[in-house]
Structures are given as C-alpha cells and as structure tokens.
Structure 1
Amino acid sequence: MTGQDSVGQRIKTVRRQRGFSQAQLAHPELSDSYVSLIESGKRTPTPAVLELLAEKLGCSLTYLVNGVTAEQMEEIELALSYAKLALSNGEIAEARLRYADLLKGGGLASLPQQKQDAEYGLALATEACGDLGEAIDLLNGLRRNASSEMAPERHVEVAIALTRCYREHGDLTQAVRTAEDILGGAVRPVWTEGLVELGTALLAAYAERGDLLRAHQFGIELLAAAELVGTPRAMVLALWAEAIVAVETRRFDEAVALADRALALYAENAEASSVANLRVDYAQIRLIAQPSDAAMCRDMLVRVEAMLQEGSVSAMDKMMCAHHLARAELMLGNIEQADRHIRSVLNLSDDMPKDLRAEAHLLAGEVMAELGRHEEAVRELSAVSRLLEDAPPTRQTAHLWLTAAQVLERIDEPTRGADAYRRALACVDL
C-alpha cells in the first residue's frame, strides 16, 4: 500500500471530480472534519471507512488504496497469469519477457504483492533460461527489498530457488548456507511441505559437493519429516530426493524401491499429465540403476510419449521424454531408433537451458559414434564443448566432460579427448 497521504490525495481528487464538498461526502456517516483529516494525511482511514468512501465516490476500493483502477488491476492480474502460464509450459523466453514488461515503468510500485510475484517469476524465468548469476541477483534483491512484506511461504520459495541456483552455479557453500540458515540449528522449525522441498534442495547440494554420507543421513531425516507433514506431495518430494542420493551412492536396489514408492504415491494423487512427466524421470533413474530393465523403460517411455503428444504439454516435457527414449534405445542396441529420437530432441532444444542442450548434443554424439558417422559425432561433441565452456565446475559438468572424453577416445580423437579429460578433472579440482 502507498502512504496514507496518497490515499487522502486520491480521495480529495475524486471528490472534487464528482463535485462534492467534504460535508457532502461525509454526511451522514462521518464528520466533514474527519474527511478533512483523511485528505490531509493526518488520519488513517479504516478498511470499513475506505470501503464506504469508495462507494460514495463511485470508484473502486482498489483505486483508493493503490491508485489503480479495477480495470487496470484486472489487466495486471491477467498479465501475471499469462506470464506464469508461459513459465509452467516451458516457454521460458516468453515468460521472462512478460515478467520484465510488467516490471517496466513502475506500474506495480503501489502493488507490493503483484510486484513481488512479478519479481519472483522473473527470477525463475531467468534461472530457466540459464542465466544463473542474474537469477541469483534477482532473488537476493527480492529478499533484500521485499523481505518485510513476504509471507512465510514466499520466504521459503525464494530460499528454495536460491539454493538451487547457487548449486547449479557451482557455489555449493552458499547453496548449503542458504538452506541451512532456515533448516539448521539444534532445533528444527516446524516442518511444512515448503520446508520439505527446501530440504530436498539442501540434499541435492550435499550430494553435488560429494558429501554423500551427510546427504544420506539428512535424507533419512527428511523422510521422517515428510511422514510428519503427512501430505502426498511431501512424501513424494522426500522419496524422490532420497532415491537420487541412493543412485549417487550406488545403492541401486534401494534407489529403485524409493522411486517405485514415489511413483505409486504420485499416481494416486496427481493428474495423468503430471504422472506422465514423473514416469520420464523414473525411467532415467531406472536406466542408471538397473540397465537390464532398458526394454521395460523404453516401453514405458513409448506410452508416455503417446500421452504427451495427445495433451497440451511443454516442449521441455517432450524433449526429456525423447531424450530418455534415445538413451534406452541406445542401451538396447537399437541405434537407428536412437538416432530418430535424438533428432527430435535436437529439434526441441534450441530454447532450452545450456545444460540440457549440452546433454542432448552429448547423447547425439554417442549415437553418431555408434553409427560410425565420425564427422557428425565430432560436430555434436564440439557443440558440447562450446556449451560447457563457461559452465560452473560442478560434478554434473565434470560428468559431461568425462563422457565426452570417452566418446572422443572411442572415435579416435585423442587430442580432443585429452582436453575433455583435463576439463573434467578441473571441475573436481584435480
């Protein structure tokens, strides 16, 4: 809300436009002296008085409070909804543009909640575009400038996004510190769904920095916390996070069991389209943990692909399904089918974050190598090198460089392969 003097000024302006005197506006519920004090900013009107004055003046309460007409507020809310929809559909560049446009010119200055929603949305869209440094700046700015106006849930949402951005940017110390500032200490806060999600972000940061024992211990604590919260979403979040840690620690049977529980629980409580997306992630875990189940994973992904084609889903969802289908077919030795799927991935990858594009070109390089198409394999792996050139030195980046090195070695490119090995080692400070 803007200052009360601005509220008073708006009341005075509209009163004069309507041709009312202070006494006419006040009668019979209020005194003209009270209206005078409000207009001069010397009295703060109660919500009930503001509502009464809006009715008498024939204007919206929103306008008196914020200086925004009902029509303008409707336009702002609609623009926010379109931006949010674009982000959820994976149209990240469009979402980023829409949020930025909303924030231009100060039109949201008197609407703190809507301004906060737009700033938070812009940070998420910027992160999705791969501009992690800028996303971190936006999130920290939101924390700094709007902290006193934030609901507790938004505080947690911002912490989740910051933890994730710091981790993906390679600043694991700051990632852990951000989450532990809320979750750390001898006494844990009362667990909520949001805090369980923050816990999964912390778990990922522990795993990324190689602190796998701490990750496993905290994962057990997080599962217990999710059971206390008692909601399906909290349980799915905790089960899935611990499944990923189990993969990292090579507890493959346990990873599959945890993923099975998460998928079963999610299937009971979520829409079919959301379950389809989780099945894609499930197939990824199973392909790593139990390569012998590649045929089963391939069949599952074929069914998911058909569902995604029928529904209105984002390009990213389709891309990830095609990516894992290509991986499954490659593992099964069906190279031509893998080639068909990876071409679909590359066609969808242009507007995706750099890390996903790097993974897509890397898998394409593997497929080309298996097909004996040397020049195409080199071209795809060169694209990987360009995309990873400025990537943060995380374990994931190291894994991508290592895989690229192995493929280059396989296609008899020793010089390029040696360089990729060096870059992989540099990511883990060796």
Structure 2
Amino acid sequence: MTTSDLIGLRIKTVRRQRGLSQAQLAHPELSDSYVSLIESGKRTPTPAVLELLAQKLDCSLSYLLNGVTAEQMEDIELALGYARMALENGEVREARTRFAELLANHNLAGLTGLRQDTQFGLALALEACGELEEAISMLGRLQDEDVSPDRRIEIAVALCRVYRQSDRLSEAIKVGEAVLGGPARPAWTDGMVELGATLLSAYFYSGDLLRARQFAAELLNAADMLGTPRAVIAANWNAAVVAESSGHGEESLAFLERALAIQSETGQPRSLARTRVAYAALKLRVHPEALDEVRAILLRAEDELAQTSASTLDRANAQVELARAEVMAGNYEQAVRHGSSGQELMPTTAGAQEAEAHLLLSRAYGGLGRVSDAERELNAVRDWLTPLPDSRRVAGTWYAAAETMELLGDADGSVEAYRRALACAGL
C-alpha cells in the first residue's frame, strides 16, 4: 500500500470509530466527495487538511501520518535515545539488545526514518560487539533502501570499515569506489573524507601502495580545503600509514601527531583513544627506544576505550600493542597477559589481527623458555593466516612468523613461512 492508501485507511478507521459519516467529517470546510477520495487513497491531503482532519477526529497528526499515537512516538524516540546512549557509553551489548528490541516493535514499521536510524544503530552495535558478518548484513540491507544522501555516506563508511576489519579488502574497496570513483562523485564533505580515509586504508592493506600514495595526497588537499576537525583527522591519520610504508617515519609521526592534537581538542572519547593506540604503535616502530612513553600512552588509551563505545576489535588492538611493547621490553609475563586478553577480545572474523596476537604470544612464551607453548601459538598463526587472501598485512605477519620459527629452531617451518610471505607480497 502507498502512503496515501495508509493515511486514507487510518482516517476511515478513526471516522467510523467516532461514529461519523464522511459528510459530517467534511462539513463545513471540505466536501464529502473530497473526504471520500482521501479515504480511498486517490488524493493525498495537504498538511493543512491533514491537521484539520486530525482535530476533527480528535486524534494525533502523528497517528494519521505514521500509524502511531503521539505517546507511542515519544516512547519510540525515548527508546532510541537510550540505545544510542548505551552505545556511546561503551555498553555495547546493552545497546545491541535495546536496538534489536526496538526494531522488533511493530509500531516502527511505518516510521521509515526512525526504523533506518534503529537499523544503523544496531549495525554499529553489532560491529562494536565483534559480530561483523551480522553488521555487514544489516548495512547491506540499509544500502538497498531509499535513504538520505548523508545517511548513504554513513552507511558506506561503516560498510567499508567492517569489510576492511574482516579482511575482505576487495569488497571494502568496491564499496568505497562506488561512491568516490564514479564520474558523478559528490563534493567533499566530512563524511566523504572519512569514507576516502577508510578506502585509503583498504588500498594500503591490499598492497596497492601507488594508488594509496596518490589518494593520500588528494585526501589531504580535500581536508585542508574543508578545514574541519573530522576531515583533517581522518586524512592525516591515514596519510601517516602511507608515509610510513614509504620509509618516511618522521613524516608519518608528524601526520599522526597532528591528528592526535586535533582529536584531543575536539574529538569523541572513542576516537581519541583509537588515535592514541595508532600513535603509540607508530611511535614504537619509528622510535623503539621510547618504550616507557609508548606504554603510558597505551595504558591511558586502554582505560579510555573501556569507557566508550569502542568495539571489541579496538580494545583487542590496544592489548596487542601493549603485548608488543612488553615483548620489546623483555617483560614476557606482562606480554602474555596482554596478548591473551587481546586474543580473547578478537572477533572471529579478525583473521590477520588474530594471527598477530598469536604471534606475539609465541614470542613471549619463547622469551620465557616455554617452547611448547610458543610452538602452539605459531601453529595458531599458520591456521589463521593460511585461508586469508594475499595482502600486505598478511605478508608482514608471515614474515614475522618466519623469523620466530627460525629463533625456535624450526628451519623447515621458517622456510615455508618466508615463501608464503613472498607469495603474499607478489614476489
């Protein structure tokens, strides 16, 4: 049924409940034939006529428009607000439950905008809980609907990000390029730059460094032109990743320091914590001697992530980076603690990140002389990496695994891991 059909049916239903004829409802402002046409769905009443009919029928305008009373509408909006608050406060499972319960409310069916808000919120909550396939499914359904231009960009950003987190890089790139790669690309906005930054990271992890470098420069120019915090943070964060891959460590730190400075002044708590983790990880790679500073940054980020709507993957990454810092410092017991926590938090779809957690655990156990535990973790690395598609990230983890196997005396395993690393790198 069309919207006009539904509105007409509601008017007819309430009129009959009130014991009124069409002529009685119409008099004196309208004709009974006009009311008949409205009730049959052949005419769409103007807002003024609809408000008049609501007054005559002693019902809310909301009911005639959407099929819900003003009280029901208030309850739905309140429930949606509580769900969003739970997500923002880091109560991600509570948020998922609240969004799902609201989506099951039959009164939401006729409220397209609120239903789409609820579906999008549920998708973000599913992502935060590590249920990435479910989040992809929800976002895919939303993508097929008629949504506002801003919401369409938000959906594309989230879908591109979740595909990237799931190591489905070609699908992440397809989503990003569908918006950014066409001849009718929209003008740059904060959302467009954020989508571009997510696409850029997918280029990088897929090993397409040439395209990543070119696109990083375009994004930086767009962000500088906009001058908004959100755009500048997104562009500089991902430009840092690309600069490091080109061997420009100090330049990459400068990009990320700029992003962190702006995030500290204006950013959301979750985004600030995630930026801290990225900065600490980069700092450790560029300046491995700065262990104490890096550890302090990561511990602060860990506390911040626990109090926000951070996904389990965000929290897991913080633990993995803490494990890396402790391995480098020789604090192997602490490394095992953080590595195990990170591994437990990983969603089942986080293949490359899961492999990285097992690799660090292997190195920590090796440092403690627990060879059998180290070998067990290396076997887990193989199990996670083997089914993954070739990418720059996977190649790097195979290479690190090969080095670890060599240290543990597994010459054959080391050679095979080096071979897999070269194959992933296209060599």
Query: Same fold by TM-score, threshold 0.5 exceeded?
Result: yes
Aligned to 1:193: 190
Pairing 1:31–2:28 present: no
2:62 corresponds to 1:62: yes
1: CA distance between counterparts of 2:185 and 2:106? 39
Q: Which residue of 1 aligns with 2:4?
A: 4
Equivalent residue, structure 2, for 1:112:
112
- Which secondary structure state, in structure 1, belongs to the residue aligned with residue 289 of structure 2? helix
**Higher RCO by CA contacts (8 Å cutoff, separation 6 or greater):** 2
Deviation at 1:196, TM superposition (A): 0.7
Whether the aligned pair in 2 keeps the contact of 1:130 and 1:354 (CA below 8 Å) is no
Structure 2: unaligned runs, 5 residues or longer:
none
Question: Does structure 1 conserve the Cα–Cα contact (< 8 Å) formed by 2:395 and 2:424?
Answer: yes
TM-score (norm 1): 0.84
Residue 228 of structure 1 is matched in structure 2 by: 225
Cα distance between partner residues in 1 of 2:133 and 2:270: 32
Corresponding position: 1:338 with 2:321: no
Q: Deviations over 1:91-110 (max 9, x none)?
A: 66665666555555976442
Judge conservation of contact 1:329–1:337 (CA < 8 Å) in 2: yes
1:169-226 per-position Cα deviation (integer Å, ceiling 9, x unaligned): 5565554444334333678642110111121122223222323233222212211111
8 Å Cα contact 1:169/1:392 also seen in 2: no
Secondary structure at the counterpart of residue 292 of structure 1 = coil
Structure 1 residue 54, shift from structure 2 partner:
2.3
- After TM superposition, give the deviation of residue 376 of structure 1 in Å: 1.8
Larger displacement relative to structure 2 (57-66 or 228-237): 57-66
Inter-CA distance 417–77: structure 2 relative to 1 (3 Å threshold) = farther
Higher mean C-alpha displacement, 160-169 vs 30-39: 160-169
Q: 1:170, 1:393 within 8 Å by CA — same for their partners in 2?
A: no
Alpha-carbon offset, residue 61 of structure 1: 2.2
- Greater CA drift, 279-288 or 19-28: 19-28
Give the whole-Å Cα distance in 2 for the aligned partners of 1:313 and 1:94.
11
Corresponding position of 1:298: 295
2:327/2:360 contact within 8 Å kept: no
User: 255-264 or 170-179: which moved more?
Assistant: 170-179
Query: Are the counterparts in 1 of residues 239 and 252 from structure 2 also a CA contact under 8 Å?
Result: yes
Query: What SS is found at the alignment partner of 1:391?
Result: coil
Distance 1:274 1:96, change over 3 A: closer
Paired residue for 1:408, among 377, 380, 405?
405
Q: Which residue of 1 aligns with 2:258?
A: 261
Report the CA distance between 1:10 and its aligned residue: 0.9
Q: Quote the offset at 1:283 in angstroms.
A: 0.4
Equivalent residues in 2 for 1:72-111 (5 A)?
72-81=72-81, 83-84=83-84, 99=99, 103=103, 108-111=108-111
Cα distance between partner residues in 1 of 2:206 and 2:233: 24
Q: Distance in 2 between matches of 1:380 and 1:342?
A: 11
Gaps of 5+ in 1: none
Counting aligned pairs with the same residue, the percent is: 52
Whether the 8 Å CA contact 1:366–1:407 is kept in 2: the answer is: yes
Q: CA deviation at 1:347?
A: 5.1
Q: 1:84 deviation in Å?
A: 4.5
CA distance in 2, matches of 1:214, 1:8: 55
Matches of residues 379-394 of structure 1 in structure 2 within 5 Å? 379-394=376-391
